[in-house]
C-alpha cells in the first residue's frame, strides 16, 4: 500500500511516500527556520504563508524522489490534529484535493501519533504492544503507554512549557538563534554539566508529571546575572537538568507500569546526550530502548504515512470533510494532555 | 470547457462549476472553508454527474481577503490543478467586485488595522488589472469624497457604511456574485506548470510580526 503523507503542523513543510508503513521511498522537508529566525520563534501566520508557497513543490519532489505519480497512490494521509491551526489547514487542504482528484482514501492523523509511530516504522516485528513512549518536542512533553494501535494511556505530561520550547527560549536568550536545540547541544559538548546547579522541578514526585518553567526561569536569571558567563558550561548544565528530568520520570513510569520496551519520539529525540543517557539508564534496569531514525524525529510526512498505514487498517478512511484542530485529544481513549487555552 | 471556480476570500465559501461561460452548479455556504470547501466541490460535481478528471480548468480567488480562507482556497485549487494537470486562473477579489458595474468605480475592502485595500478603475478599460493598494481608511475615504459624482463606490463588506451612509454612489456587497466571478474568470490569465505551484494569495501587507520587526 503506497501512502503519501503530508505534515504542515508547525514550521516544516513535509511530504513523503511510504510503502506498507515501513519502506520510506521519499521524505522531503522544507524547513522555514530562516523565515522565523529573526523572531526567535515560530510566527503562525508566516508559517501558513510559507506552507502555501511551498507545498506543491514539496509534493512534486516527494513523488519524483519516490519514482511514482499521483495515479500510483493508494491513499493520502495528513496531520489534521494538533499543531498550529493556520499551518495545519494548508496541508489538510492539499491532502483533500489529492484524495478528491485521485479518488483515493483520505486518512487524518493526530500529529503526535505520527511521532509515536515513527518508532514502529521498520520495527513492527520487534516492538510489541504495550510499550512506553516518551514524546519530547517543541510543543509536547509527555509519557504515554501505547496499549495497541490507536489506544494510549497518559502516564504524565508537562504542566507548563515543553522541553523543546525551553531549549528554544534559552537559546534565544543566549542569542543562538532558532531552532535552539541543536545550537545548545553543540555548545554543551565543551561545557561542564556540573558548573551550575540548576533545579530539577518535580523530579522526586512519584508520578510522570513534568515541569520546565522553573528551570527555564533559573537559566535565564543566570544569563541575566552574568553577561560574561561561560556559555558552554551553562548549556551543558541546563541540558543535563533536562535530561535528568526526562530520564528519571521515564524509568520510574516504565517500572510502575511494568513496560520493558521504551520508545523515544519528537524533535528532542535527536539530542544525543538524551539518547545516550536513556540507553545507559535502560541498560541498568534491563529495559529495551527504541529510537526512531534521525530523519523521522523532526516533523515529517513519512511518520504521518507510517502511522496512517497501521491506523487505516484499524479504523478505515476519513470523510473528505474532516476537521482541523489545534488541540485535540489523542487516540480512541481521548487522551487530553494540555489545556485548550494553550493555543488561544 | 468545464471550469471549477473557488472563492474563500470572505465570510462565504463559494464553489461554482461553469460550462463554457454559463453557471452549471453552485454551492455557497457561510464560513468554515477548512471543513466545507472539498465537500462543496464534491457535491457540486456530483449534481452534474461528473468527476474531477472531467474538469478542464480551475479558477480561484487569490485575494485580498481572509488570510486563512485564501491559504485554504489557493492551496486546494493549486493542488487540484497539479494533480489533474489542467490550467489555473487567479482572480483578484476587487476585479470580481467591480465586474458588471458602471465605471469609473472604486473597489474597497477592509484590510484590518484601520486600513483598506482599494483600486480605482477608470471609465474605459479593457484590462481590469489596475494597481491594487492598501492605505488608512481615512485617507481613502477623503479621496473618495472628493471624487466625481458619477463614480461608483463598491465595498466588499460594510466597513465604510458609517462614513459613506447617505452617499448614493456607495454600495455594500456581502459576497462576490457567481456571474461576476465567471465574467472575471473569462478575462483572467491562464497559468500552467510551475507557475501554478508558485501561485500565492495576494498578501499586500506584511504580518504584524514583520511590521514590528521592521519598525
DSSP string for A234-301: HHHHHHHHHHHHHHHHHHHHHHHTT--EEEEESGGGG-HHHHHHHHHHHHHHT-EEE---GGGTSS-H
- Residue B71 and residue B20 share a domain: yes
- Residue B87 and residue B17 share a domain: yes
Q: CB contact, 8 Å: A101 with chain B?
A: yes
What is the helix (H) or strand (E) element at residue A164, kind and residue range?
helix A163-173
Distance from CA of B198 to the nearest CA of A (A): 6
Contact residues on chain B for A37, CB-CB shorter than 8 A: none
Q: What CATH number is associated with residue B156?
A: 3.30.420
Average pLDDT, chain A: 93
- Residue B200 has its nearest CB partner, among A53, A99, A102, at A53
- Residue B183 and residue B166 share a domain: no
pLDDT-based confidence at residue A343 (cuts at 50, 70, 90): very low
- Region A94-118: mean pLDDT is 97
- Residue B83 has its nearest CB partner, among A97, A320, A323, at A97
Q: What is the pLDDT of residues A166-222, one digit of tens each?
A: 999 999 899 887 778 999 999 999 999 999 999 999 999 999 999 999 999 999 999
- Residue B197 has its nearest CB partner, among A57, A89, A322, at A57
Residues 6+ apart with CB under 8 A from B146: none
Beta-carbon separation of A60 and B36 below 8 A = no
Sorted by where each begins, the domain ranges of chain A are 2-116+296-343, 128-291
All 3 cell numbers of residue A219?
A: 537559566
- Region A324-336: mean pLDDT is 86
Which residue would you say has higher pLDDT here, A6 or A36? A6
Q: What is the pLDDT of residues A48-77, one digit of tens each?
A: 999 999 999 999 999 999 999 999 999 999
- Residue B7 and residue B64 share a domain: yes
Q: CB contact, 8 Å: A272 with chain B?
A: no
- Region A307-329: mean pLDDT is 94
pLDDT by residue for chain B (215 residues), tens only, comes to 999 999 999 999 999 999 988 999 999 999 788 889 999 999 999 999 999 999 999 999 999 999 999 999 999 999 999 999 999 999 999 999 999 888 899 999 999 888 999 999 988 765 556 788 999 988 998 898 888 888 999 999 988 888 877 888 999 999 999 999 999 999 999 999 999 999 999 876 777 777 777 76
- Residue B168 and residue B67 share a domain: no
- Residue B186 and residue B169 share a domain: no
Task: Give the mutation candidate from A97, A99, A106, A178 for the B interface (greatest B CB count, under 10 A).
Answer: A97
Nearest CA-CA partner of A231 in A283, A285, A273, A189: A189
Whether the CB-CB separation of A136 and A246 falls below 8 Å is answered with yes
Q: Does domain A2-116+296-343 have CATH number 3.30.420.40?
A: yes
- Residue B87 and residue B123 share a domain: no
- Residue A89 has its nearest CB partner, among B68, B78, B200, at B68
- Residue B189 and residue B157 share a domain: no
Beta-carbon separation of B75 and A43 below 8 A = no
- Residue B101 and residue B58 share a domain: no
Q: Residue B168: which domain range?
A: 94-173
Q: What CATH number is associated with residue B60?
A: 3.30.420.40
- Give me the pLDDT at residue A35, please: 77
Q: Does domain A128-291 have CATH number 3.40.47.10?
A: no
Query: Residue B196, Cα to own-chain centre: how many angstroms?
Result: 17
- Region A332-341: mean pLDDT is 70
Q: CB contact, 8 Å: A96 with chain B?
A: yes
Angle between helices A213-225 and A163-173 (to 10 degrees): 10
- Give me the pLDDT at residue A316, please: 96
Beta-carbon separation of A56 and B197 below 8 A = yes
Q: Which own/partner contact pairs does A148-151 have at CB distance under 8 Å and 24+ positions apart? A: A149/A310, A149/A311, A149/A313, A149/A314, A150/A113, A150/A311, A150/A314, A150/A315, A150/A331, A150/A332, A151/A331, A151/A332, A151/A333
- Residue B123 and residue B46 share a domain: no
Q: Which CA distances in Å does A174 have to A164, A205, A227, B177? A: 15, 31, 10, 54
- Residue B115 and residue B34 share a domain: no
Q: CA–CA separation, A138 vs A271, rounded Å?
A: 13
Amino acid at each position: 500500500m503506497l501512502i503519501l503523507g503530508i505534515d504542515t503542523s508547525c514550521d516544516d513543510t513535509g511530504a513523503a511516500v511510504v510503502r506498507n508503513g515501513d519502506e520510506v521511498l521519499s521524505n522531503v522537508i522544507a524547513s522555514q527556520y530562516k523565515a522565523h529566525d529573526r523572531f526567535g520563534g515560530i510566527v503562525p501566520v508566516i508559517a501558513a504563508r510559507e506552507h502555501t508557497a511551498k507545498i506543491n513543490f514539496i509534493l512534486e519532489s516527494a513523488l519524483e524522489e519516490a519514482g511514482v505519480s499521483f495515479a500510483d497512490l493508494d491513499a493520502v494521509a495528513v496531520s489534521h490534529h494538533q499543531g498550529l491551526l493556520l499551518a495545519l489547514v494548508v496541508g489538510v487542504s492539499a491532502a483533500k484535493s489529492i484524495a478528491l482528484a485521485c479518488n483515493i482514501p483520505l486518512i487524518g492523523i493526530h500529529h503526535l501519533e505520527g511521532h509515536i509511530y515513527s518508532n514502529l516504522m521498520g520495527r513492527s516485528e520487534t516492538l510489541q504492544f504495550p510499550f512506553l513512549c516518551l514524546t519530547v518536542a517543541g510543543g509536547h512533553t509527555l509519557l504515554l503507554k501505547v496499549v495497541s494501535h490507536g489506544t494510549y494511556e497518559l502516564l504524565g505530561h508537562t504542566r507548563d512549557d515543553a522541553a523543546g520550547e525551553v531549549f528554544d527560549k534559552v537559546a534565544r536568550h543566549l542569542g543562538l538563534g532558532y531552532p535552539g536545540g541543536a545550537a545548545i547541544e553543540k555548545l554543551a559538548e565543551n561545557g561542564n554539566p556540573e558548573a551550575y546547579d540548576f533545579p530539577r522541578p518535580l523530579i522526586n514526585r512519584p508520578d510522570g508529571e513534568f515541569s520546565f518553567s522553573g528551570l527555564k526561569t533559573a537559566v535565564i536569571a543566570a544569563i541575566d546575572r552574568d553577561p560574561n558567563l561561560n556559555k558552554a558550561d551553562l548549556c551543558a548544565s541546563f541540558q543535563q537538568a533536562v535530561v535528568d528530568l526526562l530520564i528519571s520520570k521515564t524509568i520510574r513510569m516504565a517500572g510502575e507500569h511494568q513496560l520493558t520496551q521504551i520508545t523515544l519520539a519528537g524533535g528532542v529525540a535527536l539530542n544525543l546526550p538524551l539518547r545516550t543517557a536513556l540507553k545507559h539508564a535502560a541498560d541498568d534496569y534491563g529495559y529495551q530502548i527504541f529510537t526512531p531514525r534521525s530523519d523521522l524525529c523532526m516533523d515529517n510526512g513519512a511518520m504521518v504515512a507510517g502511522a496512517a498505514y497501521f491506523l487505516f487498517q484499524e479504523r478505515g478512511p476519513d470523510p473528505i470533510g474532516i476537521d482541523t484542530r489545534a488541540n485535540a485529544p489523542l487516540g480512541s481513549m481521548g487522551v487530553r494532555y494540555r489545556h485548550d487555552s494553550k493555543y488561544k | 470547457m468545464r471550469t471549477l471556480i473557488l472563492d474563500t476570500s470572505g465570510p462565504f465559501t463559494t464553489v461554482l462549476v461553469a460550462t463554457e461561460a454559463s453557471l452549471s452548479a453552485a454551492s455557497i455556504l457561510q464560513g468554515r472553508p477548512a471543513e466545507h470547501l472539498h465537500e462543496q466541490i464534491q457535491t457540486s460535481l456530483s449534481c452534474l454527474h461528473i468527476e474531477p478528471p472531467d474538469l478542464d480548468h480551475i479558477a480561484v480567488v487569490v485575494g485580498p481577503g481572509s488570510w486563512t480562507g485564501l491559504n485554504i482556497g489557493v492551496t486546494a485549487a493549486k493542488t487540484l490543478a497539479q494533480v489533474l494537470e489542467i490550467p489555473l486562473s487567479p482572480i483578484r477579489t476587487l476585479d470580481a467586485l467591480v465586474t458588471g458595474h458602471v465605471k469609473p468605480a472604486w473597489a474597497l475592502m477592509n484590510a484590518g488595522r484601520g486600513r483598506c485595500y482599494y483600486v480605482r478603475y477608470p471609465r474605459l478599460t479593457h484590462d481590469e488589472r489596475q494597481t491594487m493598494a492598501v492605505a488608512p481608511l481615512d485617507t481613502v475615504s477623503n479621496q473618495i469624497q472628493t471624487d466625481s459624482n458619477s463614480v461608483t463606490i463598491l465595498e466588499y463588506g460594510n466597513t465604510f457604511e458609517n462614513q459613506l451612509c447617505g452617499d448614493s454612489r456607495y454600495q455594500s456587497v456581502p459576497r462576490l456574485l457567481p456571474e461576476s466571478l465567471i465574467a472575471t474568470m473569462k478575462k483572467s490569465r491562464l497559468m500552467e506548470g510551475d507557475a501554478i505551484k508558485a501561485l500565492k494569495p495576494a498578501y499586500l501587507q506584511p504580518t504584524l510580526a514583520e511590521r514590528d520587526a521592521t519598525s
